[in-house]
Amino acid sequence: MARGLRKGLTNYGDEGFALFLRKAFIKAMGYSDDALERPIVGITNTYSDYNPCHGNAPQLIEAVKRGVMLAGAMPMVFPTISIHESFAHPTSMFLRNLMAMDTEEMIRAQPMDAVVVIGGCDKTLPAQIMAAASVDLPTVVVPVGPMVVGHHRGEVLGACTDCRRLWSAHRAGEIDEAEIDVVNGRLAPSVGTCMVMGTASTMACISEVMGLSLPMSATIPAPHAERIRLAEASGQVAAKLAVEGGPRPSELLTPSAFRNAAVVMQAIGGSTNGVIHLSAIANRTPHAFSLDELDEIGRKVPVLVDLKPSGAHYMEHFHHAGGLPALLAQLGELIDLDARTIGGGTLRDIVATAEVVPGQDVIRPRTAPIKPQGSMAVLYGNLAPGGAVIKQAAASERLLQHTGRAVVFESVEDMAARIDDPDLDVTAEDVLVLRNTGPKGAPGMPEAGYLPIPKKLGRTGVKDMVRISDARMSGTAFGTIVLHMTPESAVGGPLALVESGDMIRLDLAGRRIDLLIDEATFARRKAARAGEAPAPLPERGYAKLFQQSVLQADEGCDFDFMTAPRRKP
């Protein structure tokens, strides 16, 4: 098989000429023949002025290059799309599949024997791992790392659990304009990803436990020198993979690895977005990620990591407490320690070297968990026949068994227009319902599931209500919030049938979310909606492709033509 610069030559009908031409062009960069004969390690560059989370990417790239060269291979950096949560309209999720396709095709198109993908902001690691699973070239994942914490009035705070908490306090009139402006400059004090257990941290932990990243890669703070050394070490590993040809993603992304990822996601108080991304990654492999298995794991695996939004601390504290290896040591037999890692050994080897930090209280023993059950639960019922997810670890205990009157919003725009209307007919015991916010409905399934508490209730001290939608929610958010209702309302899911004033029951113990209307009324409303014309398709471009091809939340919202071939109907 062709290696290095000889891989994937353009076919002019003369292979010698194709290589001659390729070398002639690349020599314009000043490379020697010695350099061009080496195995090649590709390195993705996701730096962007629009992506402060990846602000340290240039430094990490330099360190990876150094590692590759120290090990005798040739690094080649290439750009791909970069996505930041706050700078991707209509939503970053809309672009995740585009980034996965871009990354996959650029890895396929250019000559390389291994690749290092550097990412971190929420959608980037999932997109890169989806691409890696499809290309199946040896891949090392290097997360950019979490931000360090901020401080305000003696309080430790950070992006973006505290963004939401303090903004809610501002909405409720507890924090004035001048103070919220000061807070705004203190929530994200460095480059790196959100330093709570949001989606970025969840996906970095998942990458580490699935063996795609080196130990401690999820938790080392972005600005620390240790992260630069980790990048250098990752480059060295990638050079070795380029020579040896593996392990490949297909050798690491096994059923055990997916189960281990689910166990860790439950134990860290992981983001609900991780469920969608893991489903999408699994659908790029011969293996399935089952919502039912996730729920079953959640009944056995307690939340052990005390991080916001479920707990009190931040990623740098998790790191100083021993990081993921120390957590795996606590999880013991709940993890398959024989799972392989990119470094060549198994998780057992990593656990054997886990640091024991005296007196740390961030990673709890199983005898004293933060929450007795896992981070999230999976619900079914007549409102979610295809499933829904609730982050029980960040919910209000008293609302987990609750029946209330529906207050329905047709769309994000409708919610924005009416939620703070003083005349809105709403009480703290009602259930806020948001629809048309799923993969196709919005489109792109925005993180709109964290419906704000109506201002008039917030001002009376209401901090949480039951909220349900077909949207997603930021992993940094908290509340009694049911998400990913499947199928979504825009494709005829039963959420479309709810009317304001109906009663809705959330029954966490029974794992159900139900609309309490009789069957005849349910059928009549369904028949009435069946006659409605579907929303028109966008006329062109990526939006049209997205609308035609995006799968539902339970299948990971990937495009139907991107899943592994054996999964096609």
Of 123 and 364, nearer to ligand FES (C-beta) is 123
Question: Which positions from 154 to 183 touch ligand FES by CB under 6 A, shown as an x/- string?
Answer: -----x------------------------
Q: What is the 3-state secondary structure (H, E, C) of 236-251?
A: HHHHHHHHHCCCCHHH
Question: Which region holds residue 511: left if phi is over 0, alpha if psi is between -120 and 50, else beta?
Answer: left
Give yes or no for a contact between 447 and 476, defined as CB atoms under 8 angstroms apart.
no
DSSP line for 462-485: ----EEEESS---TT--SSEEEEE
Give yes or no for a contact between 249 and 145, defined as CB atoms under 8 angstroms apart.
no
Residue 85 is a binding residue for ligand FES (CB under 6 A): yes
Least Å from the CB of residue 420 to ligand FES = 25
Residue choice 121, 166, 218, 490 for contact with ligand FES (CB under 6 A): 121
Of 115 and 477, nearer to ligand FES (C-beta) is 477
Measured CA to CA, the distance from residue 506 to residue 526 in angstroms comes to 22
Measured CA to CA, the distance from residue 517 to residue 498 in angstroms comes to 9
Least Å from the CB of residue 122 to ligand FES = 5
Of 45 and 547, nearer to ligand FES (C-beta) is 45
Question: Which positions from 364 to 393 touch ligand FES by CB under 6 A, shown as an x/- string?
Answer: ------------------------------
Residue 200 is a binding residue for ligand FES (CB under 6 A): yes
Q: In 269-337, which ranges are continuous DSSP H helix?
A: 273-282, 291-300, 315-320, 323-331
Question: What are the tokens at 257?
Answer: 């690895």
Least Å from the CB of residue 159 to ligand FES = 6
The residue range among 190-198, 279-287, 317-325, 444-452 that interacts with ligand FES, by the rule CB under 6 A, is: 190-198
Other CB atoms within a 10 A radius of the CB of residue 14 amount to 11
Question: Which positions from 41 to 70 touch ligand FES by CB under 6 A, shown as an x/- string?
Answer: ------------x-----------------
Binders of ligand FES among 339-368, rule CB under 6 A?
none
Least Å from the CB of residue 537 to ligand FES = 31
Residue 129 is a binding residue for ligand FES (CB under 6 A): no
C-alpha distance from residue 72 to each of 19, 130, 410 (Å): 22, 28, 59
Strands 114-119 and 40-45: parallel
Measured CA to CA, the distance from residue 359 to residue 31 in angstroms comes to 53
Of 42 and 119, nearer to ligand FES (C-beta) is 119
Residue 272 is a binding residue for ligand FES (CB under 6 A): no
Residue 310 is a binding residue for ligand FES (CB under 6 A): no
Q: In 421-518, which ranges are continuous DSSP H helix?
A: 455-458
**Number of residues binding to ligand FES, judged by CB under 6 A:** 10
User: What's the number of CA atoms in the CB half-sphere (13 Å) around residue 188?
Assistant: 14
Of 198 and 479, nearer to ligand FES (C-beta) is 198
Least Å from the CB of residue 193 to ligand FES = 4
Return the bridge partners of 388, or none.
Answer: 379
Of 194 and 294, nearer to ligand FES (C-beta) is 194
Residue choice 80, 193, 436, 486 for contact with ligand FES (CB under 6 A): 193
Of 54 and 240, nearer to ligand FES (C-beta) is 54
Binders of ligand FES among 516-555, rule CB under 6 A?
none
Measured CA to CA, the distance from residue 70 to residue 563 in angstroms comes to 37
Q: Could you tell me the sign of the dihedral formed by the alpha carbons of 277, 279, 283, 287, in that order?
A: positive
Least Å from the CB of residue 85 to ligand FES = 4
What is the three-class DSSP state of 541? Answer: helix
Least Å from the CB of residue 326 to ligand FES = 23
C-alpha distance from residue 90 to each of 119, 159, 352, 436 (Å): 21, 21, 45, 14
Residue choice 71, 76, 140, 194 for contact with ligand FES (CB under 6 A): 194
Residue choice 38, 41, 82, 84 for contact with ligand FES (CB under 6 A): 84
Measured CA to CA, the distance from residue 483 to residue 490 in angstroms comes to 15
Residue 122 is a binding residue for ligand FES (CB under 6 A): yes
Residue 197 is a binding residue for ligand FES (CB under 6 A): no
Of 325 and 475, nearer to ligand FES (C-beta) is 475
Least Å from the CB of residue 61 to ligand FES = 18
The residue range among 33-41, 191-199, 321-329, 539-547 that interacts with ligand FES, by the rule CB under 6 A, is: 191-199
Least Å from the CB of residue 315 to ligand FES = 11
For 205-208, the CB contacts below 8 A with 24+ separation are 205/264, 205/265, 205/268, 205/270, 205/324, 206/261, 206/264, 206/265, 206/270, 206/274, 206/277, 206/278, 207/125, 207/129, 207/141, 207/143, 208/324
The residue range among 192-200, 250-258, 354-362, 535-543 that interacts with ligand FES, by the rule CB under 6 A, is: 192-200
Binding residues (CB under 6 A) for ligand FES: these are 53, 84-85, 121-122, 159, 193-194, 198, 200
